[in-house]
Amino acid sequence: MKFLTEYLWFNTRKQREYINITGEVESILKKSAIREGMILVSAMHITAGVYVNDEEHGLIQDIDEWLEKLAPFRADYRHHHTGEDNGDAHLKSLLVHHEVIVPVTDGRLDLGPWQQIYYAEFDGMRKKRVLLKVMGE
């Protein structure tokens, strides 16, 4: 079995952003030369996430509004007693989750017809990274 580890770096312009990273993941998969296996895509920060869904602007807005309803910014989170102000970002990350595993078949990401891979940032405007680990033959 072969492995390749790469990192993507982000420094978003906004506090919350949803970035389609499918192309970058495909490029790293191609670099690995793996034909059959999987690729792990994992946000390495506790206020970010990775998910698979459709690339449609209205849906991305719906996801953002849904997350804000479930985990709104509030000043009274206990986490803020530590001097932080990003309690909502931690909760949003839990809802989205921090990683996905995507199958690789015949050298390609084996995604459904509308599926795309997204990096979700909930506490942005600073440097963060995503781990990509390709595993297979």
Q: Which two tokens stand for residue 115?
A: 């599926």
The pLDDT, as a whole number, for residue 14 is 96
Average pLDDT of every residue of the chain: 97
Please name which of 25, 115, 118 lies closest in space to residue 67, comparing C-alpha atoms.
118
Q: 39: which residues sit within 8 A by CB, 6+ positions away?
A: 25, 28, 29, 101, 102, 104, 109, 132, 133, 134, 135
Q: How many Cα neighbours within 13 Å face the side chain of 72?
A: 4
Q: Domains in the chain, ordered, with CATH?
A: 2-74+84-136 (2.60.120.460)
* 48-107 pLDDT, tens digit each: 999 999 999 999 999 999 999 999 999 999 999 999 999 999 999 999 999 999 999 999
Over range 121-135, report the average pLDDT.
97
